Amino acid sequence: MVVKANFSTSKGESEKNWAQVLAVFISGLAGISNGLLFSWPSPYLVKITQDKVNYDITEEAGSYFNIIHPLSLICACPFFAKLIDIIGRKRTMLLIVIPQIASWLLSGFAKSVYVFYAARVCAGLADGCIFAVLPAYIGEVANPSVRGKWGNIIPTSMYLGEFLITIIGSYFDVKTASFICLPLPILFLILFSLMPESPYYYIIKGREENAKQSLRFLKRINNIDDIYQQLKCDVERQIAESGTWCDLFKIKSNRKALVAGLFLRFTQQLSGFSVFLTFTQLIFQKSGGNISHETSSIVYLGFCIALNLIAMIFIVPRFNRLTCFVSSTALCGITMLILAIYLYVDECLHVDVSSFNWIPLTMMVLYQIFASYGIAVIPTLMLSELYSASVKSKAMTLLSMSFGAGIFIASSLFYQLNINFGFYSPFFFFFACCGVSTAASYYIIPETRGKTLEEIQVMLKAI
């Protein structure tokens, strides 16, 4: 038997989910800060390179802002993934405020391009922390019902940060924006320090009373002996398995989970998802349209937030993970094809498309509608579910590094295809990736909806 949500104790107490939801939402504050840092180049790269009074930075030098960040993320992931098993999930997450605060301070006082580079390194370190730690934390503190509804808080909170930095960038200079954003990581530090550590971590470390105290907070019941014993059996069974790097590849269930995780992460990035967030204003500027690229970006990111909240609350909990992901990649691919054809006709055939210049904004909004319940949320959500406790930190290391590698590859391809073939070509590439992923998903992605972490491991072993 495995533990389900709304478990009833012998004293007639029933589990309550609000404390788990609270822990997930407070952890999302770190995601907002990371979203602000991730999309910071979108409004400020142009401002910095054009401001020759306060800065002497060329466009070529500034172009490295979007390259340094993912490379720093890749380097940081092994460090933070190792820390979660040494000092715990909670303490490792609290460390995120150090690179976040450092990035804002460096950006606020920077005059040299190298100081800005250092700020982007810190932003990458923060992303390395959140993607290595937070999926594991959410997966271990939340019941399947909570995890299914609120587990995609990371992309939603990052969307909110990206939306806010777009608005801030329209009104404030670099220094003022840095000091506006600085209090947010401090607020996260204060609030998240009040949240519990994962009971999984305490059980792994043999700290029985701490694990029970964490479960009492998360379940909001006093008599948690039965729940604790079942969880202890599940965790001990998982950590009793060999957990070396070789076992991550040799053991069939681990290999199945790793392949699924890598596929989800690379599909997310090579479908154009991160490129749209990093180059939002550039895409709208080059695509043309009746609305300014600044206004288009605000509208687009506003849709991102609203749609992810709708998907998180009403869609993802009600449909299978595979159904959401496959339909999302297929429909996103169609929007990319239409946008690519529009840009090709405009750029290469020199046909007057002024009557259709509503297409770029419309296709990008439609892309976000279709991505909101699949590409945007399913990869992060499933990363909190797939891995046994014995190999979780190692799996998170590889998958977080793959996230950074995916961003780097997608951004580089976007730039190179645009320069060498035309602005339409990256969107044909994204369309092709969506098509391949749609077909391959049926063979790679396991269904995890409504299952506890132990049930998922049993299912993977059966597969």
Per-residue pLDDT reduced to its tens digit, 61-96: 887 887 888 889 888 888 888 888 899 999 999 999
Instruction: Please state, in angstroms and rounded to a whole number, the distance separating the CA atoms of residues 312 and 379.
Output: 13
H/E stretch holding 365 reads: helix 359-371
Looking at residue 9, what is its pLDDT? 46
> Distance between CA atoms of 81 and 407, rounded to whole angstroms?
19
Give how far Cα 204 sits from Cα of 122, 135, 198, 303, Å: 31, 18, 10, 42
Report residue 212: phi and psi, to 5°.
-65, -40
Q: At 301, is the secondary structure helix, strand, or coil?
A: helix
pLDDT at res. 6: 44
Cβ–Cβ < 8 Å for 257, 248: no
Query: Which architecture does CATH list for 242-463?
Result: Up-down Bundle (1.20)
Under-70 pLDDT residues of the chain: 1-13, 148-149, 151-152, 242-243, 277-294, 296, 312, 384, 463
Output the pLDDT for position 67. 82
CATH number of the structural domain 17-195: 1.20.1250.20
**Tokens 């295809």 identify what position?**
417
User: What would the pLDDT profile of 383-397 be if each residue is shown by its tens digit?
Assistant: 767 877 777 778 878
| DSSP β-bridge partners for residue 8 | 14
Query: Which pLDDT value is given to residue 42?
Result: 77
**Cα–Cα distance, 332 to 365 (Å, whole number):** 10
Domain boundaries, the chain: 17-195, 201-240, 242-463
pLDDT, residue 5, reads 40
Task: Tell me what pLDDT residue 196 has.
Answer: 93
Count CB-CB contacts under 10 A for residue 310: 14
- The letter for the amino acid at 203 is I
Side-chain half-sphere exposure of 53, counting CA atoms within 13 A = 2
Rg (CA), the chain: 22
Name the DSSP class of 456: H
Q: Check if 17-195 and 242-463 are the same fold.
A: yes
pTM for the full model? 0.76
As a dihedral over the C-alpha atoms of residue 199, residue 201, residue 206, residue 208, rounded to 10 degrees, the angle is -10
